[in-house]
């Protein structure tokens, strides 16, 4: 509404002097909220000396006529433009006939719109330029929040780090778990050699063990960690409260003992901090000693695992062999036979000899009976000799387990039982020999492989305090506070713009 007089003046200049120009004094309808016109209408009555216009009963009808004349003129201009582009030009008054309105005398000749074939220029809308930005309340609140959320906490942290925080010394120790494999002579002759390598599983176990409660308790029992890390009572952030629990000590341990583990090279490096350089070195040495003890224990467990199964198999073989030999011993005691084969051969030879003598005695007795009298003393002696030989043959057969009737089945049973016992004993002896060889090989293999902790950096002794890293901590605190403030601010303004 405020720019319309300027637009009208611009349009008046653009159309030339043929159209009337109006000033603020000649447009009383602007103040009343009406719609003015500048398209060749009859000039309105001038204002009085005191701004009044007096009674004008025909002004409303005149405005309506001017509005209609303006619409008719625009339609005529459009039709004229179309007629100029068409092969057959249309009359300029056709626009008025289409609108059904009669042009007023003032509208038909105003502004030079009566020239055929020329459309009136469009009005140029000029937008208002942006005003100069001024600080507002939300800007001051934004700066205040930056000061409260970022600047003030960062300043407090800087004051604490540079005035209250106690200096800390550090000690570095580096080590790795190594496994030595001593090649056997067979492997050396065969050209199969192996160098020392890293035990991956042992290194991973050691990495977790250093951070465990067992390590903390072992070092605390040797050095009294509570006394070492409570030497700066004025620094509650970086020192330890002696009244803290065991879990608190484990959490604090993970703060002062930093582990750097390279899984590719299997190297472990520790950085231990303390309020005194000697304490830091002592803690690092204690960690190395406990780690070495742990590795030796793992090596012993691995060696026992490697030989346990072979030892159990050897024990079973020994027990089986003992039972087999005991059965053979009982058989020999029962049958009074030490070596069945030799004894059988001897007994059979003796029986054969006795039987041969018995046959000779029978032949001699028969000869005497045929050539001498019945009461001849030689016949009595021959009969007595034959009786003695028969009695001896019976005694020898009893030793072999054969009855007087010469039943060979009992003798075969005796030999079969002894053969079963002999086979069991021989199998037990073979199993024992194999188990003993396996146990010896497992024991030799376990002894050839040994794990140990090799330190490539001995615990160092610091000369100056490098911790806490005040500049780094202050930069991190300020950066995170600023990021948090920026995030909160963006969220706040995004919600505010949606409303």
Query: Highest-confidence range of 135-139, 190-194, 435-439, by mean pLDDT?
Result: 435-439
Query: Which pLDDT tens digit goes with each residue over 261-273?
Result: 888 888 899 999 9
pLDDT of residue 276: 92
The answer to whether 18 and 115 have CB atoms below 8 angstroms apart is no
Over residues 13-34, mean pLDDT: 40
- The secondary structure of the chain in percent helix, strand, coil, rounded to multiples of 5, reads 65, 10, 30
* CA–CA gap between residue 182 and residue 445 (Å, rounded): 9
String of DSSP letters for 203-263: HHHHHHHHTSHHHHHHHHHHH-HHHHTTS-TT-TTTS--TT--HHHHHHHHHHHEEEEEET
455-470 per-residue burial string, b: 16 or more CB within 10 A, e: under 16: eeeebbebeeeebbee
Of 281-285, 362-366, 462-466, the poorest mean pLDDT is in 362-366
Backbone CA torsion sign across 63, 66, 68, 71:
negative
pLDDT exceeds cutoff 60 at 308? yes
- Residue (of 205, 325, 222) closest to 283 by Cα position: 222
Gap between the terminal Cα atoms of the chain: 29
Bigger pLDDT: 302 vs 327: 327
- The single residue listed with the structure tokens 């000039």 is 43
14 or 430: which carries more pLDDT confidence? 430
Residue-wise pLDDT for 244-263, tens only, equals: 888 999 999 999 999 998 88
**Range among 19-28, 322-331, 355-364, 471-480 with highest mean pLDDT value:** 471-480
Per-residue tokens: 351? 């029986």
Residue 125's pLDDT is 61
- Whole-angstrom Cα distance, residue 333 to residue 343? 14
Half-sphere exposure of 462 (CA within 13 A, CB side): 23
Q: What is the mean pLDDT of residues 479-484?
A: 94
Of the chain, the percentage scoring pLDDT greater than 90 comes to 20
Q: Give the residue extent of every domain in the chain.
A: 4-112, 150-311+449-498, 316-446
Residue 100 confidence (pLDDT): 42
Q: What is the dihedral of CA 348, 351, 352, 355, to 10 degrees?
A: -160
Range of weakest confidence among 64-73, 100-109, 121-130: 100-109
Highest-scoring range by mean pLDDT, 6-15, 123-132, 324-333: 324-333
Q: Quick one: which of 215, 181, 188 has its CA closest to 302?
A: 181
Of 335 and 367, more confident: 367
pLDDT at residue 467 above 70?
A: yes
Is the confidence at residue 111, as pLDDT, over 60? no
Q: What is the pLDDT of residue 110?
A: 42
Average pLDDT taken over every residue of the chain:
74
Range 357-365 contact pairs with CB under 8 angstroms and sequence separation of 24 or more: 357/389, 358/386, 358/389, 358/390, 358/393, 361/385, 361/386, 361/389, 362/386
Per-residue confidence (pLDDT) for residue 86, from 0 to 100: 56
Question: What pLDDT sits at residue 180?
Answer: 63
Determine the length of the chain: 499
Specify the pLDDT at position 259: 92
Higher pLDDT, 306 or 289: 289
**Residue 11 scores a pLDDT above 60:** no
Whose CA is closest to 274, among 231, 214, 224?
A: 231
Euclidean distance between CA atoms 331 and 158, whole angstroms: 96
SS3 state of residue 368: helix
Q: Which of 19-23, 168-172, 334-338, 424-428 has the highest mean pLDDT?
A: 168-172
CB 361 within 8 A of CB 387: no
Rounded CA separation 241/35 (Å): 85
The model carries a pTM of 0.52
Question: Residue 371's CB: how many other CB atoms inside 10 A?
Answer: 9
* pLDDT band, residue 280 (cuts 50/70/90): very high
Whole-angstrom distance, CA of residue 222 vs CA of residue 246: 16
Nearest to 17 by CA among 98, 111, 97: 111
Query: Per residue in 215-232, pLDDT tens?
Result: 999 999 998 899 999 888
pLDDT value, residue 364: 82
List helix spans (H) across 336-376.
340-371
Residue 50: phi and psi, rounded to 5, are -105, 20
Pairing of strands 267-274, 449-457: unpaired
Q: How confident is the model at residue 16 (pLDDT cuts 50, 70, 90)?
A: very low
Residue 187 has pLDDT above 50, yes or no: no
Per-residue pLDDT tens digits for 365-412: 888 888 887 777 888 888 888 888 888 888 777 766 555 454 444 566
pLDDT in tens, 41-85: 444 444 444 444 444 556 767 788 788 888 888 887 877 777 666
């Amino acid at each position: 509404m405020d720019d319309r007089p300027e637009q009208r003046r611009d349009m008046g200049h653009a159309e030339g002097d043929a159209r009337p120009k109006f000033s603020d004094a000649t447009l009383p309808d602007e103040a009343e909220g009406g719609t003015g016109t500048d398209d060749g209408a009859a000039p309105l009555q001038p204002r009085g000396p005191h701004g009044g216009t007096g009674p004008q009963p025909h002004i409303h009808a005149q405005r309506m006529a001017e509005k209609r004349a303006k619409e008719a003129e625009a339609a005529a201009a459009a039709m004229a433009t179309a007629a100029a582009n068409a092969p057959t030009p249309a009359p300029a008054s056709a626009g008025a006939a289409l609108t059904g309105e009669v042009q007023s005398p003032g509208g038909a000749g105003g502004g030079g719109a009566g020239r055929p074939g020329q459309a009136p220029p469009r009005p140029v809308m000029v937008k208002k330029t942006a005003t100069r930005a001024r600080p507002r309340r939300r800007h001051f609140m934004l700066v205040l929040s930056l000061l409260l959320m970022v600047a003030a906490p960062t300043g407090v942290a800087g004051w604490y780090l540079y005035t209250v925080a106690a200096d800390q010394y550090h000690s570095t120790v580096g080590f790795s778990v190594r496994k030595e494999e001593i090649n056997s002579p067979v492997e050396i002759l065969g050209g199969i050699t192996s160098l020392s390598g890293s035990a991956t599983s042992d290194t991973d176990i050691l990495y977790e063990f250093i951070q465990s409660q067992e390590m903390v308790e072992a070092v605390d029992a040797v050095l009294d960690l509570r006394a070492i890390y409570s030497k700066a009572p004025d620094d509650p952030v970086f020192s330890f409260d002696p009244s803290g629990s065991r879990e608190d000590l484990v959490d604090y341990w993970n703060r002062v003992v930093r582990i750097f583990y390279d899984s590719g090279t299997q190297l472990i490096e520790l950085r231990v901090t303390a309020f005194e350089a000697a304490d830091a070195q002592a803690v690092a040495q204690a960690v190395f000693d406990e780690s070495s003890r742990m590795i030796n224990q793992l090596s012993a467990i691995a060696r026992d695992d490697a030989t346990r199964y072979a030892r159990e198999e050897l024990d079973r073989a020994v027990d089986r062999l003992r039972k087999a030999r005991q059965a053979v011993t009982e058989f020999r005691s029962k049958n009074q036979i030490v070596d069945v084969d030799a004894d059988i051969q001897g007994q059979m030879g003796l029986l054969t000899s006795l039987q041969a003598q018995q046959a000779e005695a029978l032949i001699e007795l028969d000869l005497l009976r045929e050539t001498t009298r019945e009461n001849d003393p030689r016949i009595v002696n021959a009969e007595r000799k034959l009786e003695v030989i028969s009695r001896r043959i019976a005694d020898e057969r009893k030793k072999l387990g054969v009855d007087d009737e010469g039943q060979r089945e009992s003798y075969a049973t005796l030999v079969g039982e002894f053969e079963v016992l002999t086979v069991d004993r021989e199998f037990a002896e073979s199993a024992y020999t194999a188990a003993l060889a396996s146990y010896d090989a497992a024991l030799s293999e376990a002894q050839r492989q040994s794990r140990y902790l090799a330190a490539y950096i001995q615990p160092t002794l610091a000369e100056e305090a490098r911790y806490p890293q005040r500049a780094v901590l202050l930069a991190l605190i300020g950066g995170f506070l600023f990021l948090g403030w920026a995030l909160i601010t963006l969220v706040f303004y995004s919600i505010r713009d949606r409303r």
